[in-house]
Amino acid sequence: MTIRTRIAPSPTGLDLHIGNAYTALINSVLARKHGGQFIVRIEDTDRTRLVEGSEQKILSSLAWLGIPHAEGPDIGGPYAPYRQSERLPSYKTYAEELVANGHAYYCFCTASRLEEMRKTQEANKLPPMYDGLCKAIAPDDARKRVAAGERHVIRMNVPDTGVTTFTDLIRGEISFENKLIDDQVLLKSDGYPTYHLGVVVDDHVMNITHIIRGEEWIPSTPKHILLYRFFGWDIPNIAHVSVLRNPDRSKLSKRKNPVWVSDYRAKGFLPEAIRNYLAGMAWSYPDGRDIFSTEEMIGVFDMSQLKTTAPIFDTEKLRWVNGEYIRNMDAASLRSALYAFDSRIPHDDALTDRILPLVAERMKTLAEFWTLASFFYEKPAETEKPCDRNICAELATALSHAEWTHGAMEQSVRTLADAKGWKAKDVFMQLRLAITGKTVGPPLLESMEVLGKEESLGRLSRYI
Ligand code: GLU
């Protein structure tokens, strides 16, 4: 059996949600481990929630993240089209098939009747469910009303008794009482399928062998299981991964954490670091290490080791992982990543290579390069604290006689401090302020070596 996995995002957000990136990674790793295919299908049947440009953003974020798909709306494939809005006739056929064999029925209830029903249920503290009124209509009558053009939907005919059970690859057996499962709408009056019909039909016809999605879809799964049975189709393997949480354990939300992949890209995170961090959300590398590549993960991954505990998405930890990746990059890769990330950085490889050893150790994101290193390229406009003119003047004189190595400069600053009875620490701080404009930053004298004597003395003399 060829393993086929998928993500089926709805283009209803601004970009790829980091939680969807997580499920994409797990799906992709499983497929790659077994030489299978990971595919992308766009579930765009809820026309009211579509967001312009969302699909492109989802696909480009997946590509940027380095989670490649074998089939999808952008690249096609043997089961095209991969956009549900382009597959409408197929859903109607399948829904009609269920009506014909009694597993679904036409429903003519108006919006106002449904609204009234909902209100009564609410008042009586009952779960909101369709009350089954149209189930009682004789099939022939229903067909005549449909033929006459009466507005209708198709609902699934859920048995009133019994239990629907499925075995989740990660969570084990999960059961739902049928009497609590709603007669879900399958085909809407506009001819579009609902999520439930669309997802079951497409996972079946696209030969998906493993459905791996977020735990928020567990309540939908018994409906899907019933649909598979109604159609007489084999049920794929199903696993629900835990949703990512904020450090306070609430569901990852925009208020507490950036949620879009593009937010992390804009902040200077590296795709391989994000993949590494996401991988560790509910899974551990067998030897316990924190840093591993996706290739290494593929080598040892085992679905059954996914944990069900709430994975905490902690931006600080992600920053740490990202810093590790930055430090492990060779100079050429880091240089090109920086040039691509920040257009302010001059493409002067020799200069970049002299600056990087001074700042890379302190960088957790690509964005921090400029914060740490901008003074190499431009004179600091203002200092955070005013410089002491007297100290700057003495420093300029002393350093003008120094050989331009950090050892010689250090000697001359210390000699000056001793001679004047100043604390060396204070003198170095004045020097740092004059040269970099900041109180903290990379090693100062090494940075001045890179800046050169003329430029450094020029910066000092501005304060005299
Ligand atoms: N369209 C659903 C979503 O927006 C797909 C859920 C699933 O994977 O079945 O995520």
Domain with CATH 1.10.10.350 in the chain: 379-461
pLDDT value of position 382: 66
pLDDT value of position 384: 66
* Catalytic residue check, 267: no
| Ligand 1 mean position, distance from CA 227 (Å) | 16
d(CA 261, CA 247): 18
Domain with CATH 3.40.50.620 in the chain: 1-71+242-328
d(CA 133, CA 217): 27
d(CA 288, CA 66): 24
Residue-by-residue DSSP string for 129-147: ----GGGGS-HHHHHHHHH
User: CB-based burial of residue 92 (10 Å sphere; 0-12 exposed, 13-18 middle, 19+ buried)?
Assistant: middle
| Ligand 1 mean position, distance from CA 66 (Å) | 21
Strand 4-7 relative to strand 37-40, pairing: parallel
Long-range contacts of 175-178 (CB under 8 A, 24+ apart): 176/219, 176/222, 178/222, 178/226
Decide: 12 in ligand 1 pocket, CB within 6 A: no
pLDDT value of position 386: 76
**Which listed residue (119, 254, 385, 420) is catalytic?**
254
Looking from the CA of residue 20, the nearest atom of ligand 1 is 10
Across the chain, which distance is largest between two alpha carbons, in Å? 107
Q: CB–CB of 105/96 below 8 Å?
A: no
The pair of structure tokens assigned to 71 is 């089939």
Decide: 394 in ligand 1 pocket, CB within 6 A: no
pLDDT value of position 57: 98
Domain with CATH 3.90.800.10 in the chain: 88-187
Looking from the CA of residue 198, the nearest atom of ligand 1 is 1
d(CA 263, CA 267): 6
Q: Which residues of the chain have pLDDT under 50?
A: none
**Per residue in 295-321, pLDDT tens?**
999 999 999 999 999 999 999 999 999
Residue 7 is classified by DSSP as E
The pair of structure tokens assigned to 376 is 């190499």
d(CA 209, CA 336): 39
Tell which CATH classification among 3.40.350.10, 1.10.3720.10, 3.40.1710.10, 1.10.10.350 matches the domain 379-461.
1.10.10.350
Tell which CATH classification among 3.40.640.10, 3.40.50.2000, 3.30.499.10, 3.40.50.620 matches the domain 1-71+242-328.
3.40.50.620
Residue 157 is classified by DSSP as -
pLDDT value of position 1: 86
| Ligand 1 mean position, distance from CA 216 (Å) | 10
Question: Is 9 in a helix, a strand, or coil?
Answer: coil
Query: 88-187 sits in which CATH class?
Result: alpha beta
pLDDT value of position 254: 77
Nearest CA to 239 out of 196, 277, 210 is that of 210
Decide: 41 in ligand 1 pocket, CB within 6 A: no
Looking from the CA of residue 214, the nearest atom of ligand 1 is 8
pLDDT value of position 448: 98
Residue-by-residue DSSP string for 49-67: G--TTHHHHHHHHHHHHT-
Those residues whose C-beta lies under 8 Å from the C-beta of residue 88, and which sit 6 or more positions away, are 191, 192, 193
d(CA 443, CA 359): 8
φ, ψ of residue 42 to 5 degrees: the values are -95, 120
Decide: 22 in ligand 1 pocket, CB within 6 A: no
pLDDT value of position 253: 80
Residue with tokens 């190595």: 405
- Which residue type, as a one-letter code, is found at position 265? R
| Ligand 1 mean position, distance from CA 11 (Å) | 10
Rg of the Cα trace of the chain? Answer: 31
Report the predicted TM-score, pTM, of the whole model to 2 decimal places.
Answer: 0.94
In 388-416, which positions are buried (b, 16+ CB within 10 angstroms) versus exposed (e)?
beebbebbbebbeebebeeeebeebbeeb
d(CA 463, CA 111): 76
Nearest 5°: the CA angle 122, 126, 131 is: 95
d(CA 315, CA 200): 35
